[in-house]
């Protein structure tokens, strides 16, 4: 292959890369618009008036479009079937206290909030084991199947790294539980434990940085093609 043919081939390759990088940059801008819309929609749900628990007939249709909806539910907590899920929060490492709530014809898991390791035993937070009907307001959350990062749930050993609704319900002998859970708000529990209202609502949005990176690579590739073309001339 002659030097001219090689330069022509390299210039064409640079132009192809420039087009590809530009397309990726445009795609990232589209993703950024989608992410900003998602953030706005979630913000509206979080600050909306609380809604009743979705009826059982609506459960199969619950999906990402329902995440972080404010829910208010009345029922009785089944403390004997609570589950501790490992957690890292702004208050340090510890556990989420996930307790079933019976609401007449339904059972929904409630993430009542955080407790430190020294409050793991219910005996150390007896005041918070509320008896009788109560009203809980919180955010609807989708199940977290399997486990946490590099750590799988181990129901047989009662080790939980994520709030896997179906697995927790099976382990606690709960039939017909709602396929989602509710993160309780910051309303104080008797005795101060568990501590609710620690839901982290954060969506990574680095799409603009990615887009600028792809566009910069497109410009560099186009510049390389121009240099090769001038060398050929």
Confidence of residue 11 (pLDDT cuts 50, 70, 90): confident
Q: What is the mean pLDDT of residues 132-149?
A: 91
Question: In angstroms, rounded to a whole number, what is the distance separating the alpha carbons of residues 213 and 25?
Answer: 8
What's residue 203's pLDDT? 64
Confidence of residue 149 (pLDDT cuts 50, 70, 90): confident
Q: What is the mean pLDDT of residues 111-134?
A: 96
Say if residue 101's pLDDT is above 80. Answer: yes
Q: Which has more pLDDT, 109 or 223? A: 109
What's residue 104's pLDDT? 85
What's residue 107's pLDDT? 96
What's residue 2's pLDDT? 66
Say if residue 232's pLDDT is above 80. Answer: no
Contact yes or no for 163/84 (Cβ under 8 A)? no
Q: Which has more pLDDT, 101 or 228? A: 101
Confidence of residue 39 (pLDDT cuts 50, 70, 90): low
């Amino acid at each position: 292959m002659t030097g001219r043919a090689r330069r022509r081939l390299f210039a064409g390759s640079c132009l192809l890369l420039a087009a590809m990088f530009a397309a990726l940059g445009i795609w990232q801008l589209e993703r950024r618009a989608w992410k900003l819309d998602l953030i706005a929609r979630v913000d509206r749900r979080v600050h909306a008036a609380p809604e009743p628990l979705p009826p059982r007939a609506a459960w199969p249709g619950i999906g990402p479009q329902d995440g972080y909806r404010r829910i208010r539910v009345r029922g009785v907590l089944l403390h004997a079937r609570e589950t501790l899920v490992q957690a890292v929060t702004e208050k340090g490492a510890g556990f989420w206290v996930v307790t079933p709530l019976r609401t007449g014809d339904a059972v929904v898991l409630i993430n009542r909030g955080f407790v430190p390791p020294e409050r793991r035993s219910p005996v150390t937070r007896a005041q918070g084991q509320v008896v009788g009907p109560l009203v809980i307001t919180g955010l609807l959350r989708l199940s977290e199947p399997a486990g946490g990062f590099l750590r799988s749930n181990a129901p047989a050993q009662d080790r939980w790294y994520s709030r896997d609704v179906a697995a927790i319900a099976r382990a606690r002998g709960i039939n017909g539980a709602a396929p989602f859970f509710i993160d309780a708000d910051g309303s104080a529990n008797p005795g101060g434990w568990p501590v609710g209202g620690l839901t982290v609502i954060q969506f990574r949005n680095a799409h603009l940085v990615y887009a600028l990176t792809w566009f910069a690579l497109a410009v560099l590739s186009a510049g390389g093609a121009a240099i090769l073309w001038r060398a050929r001339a």
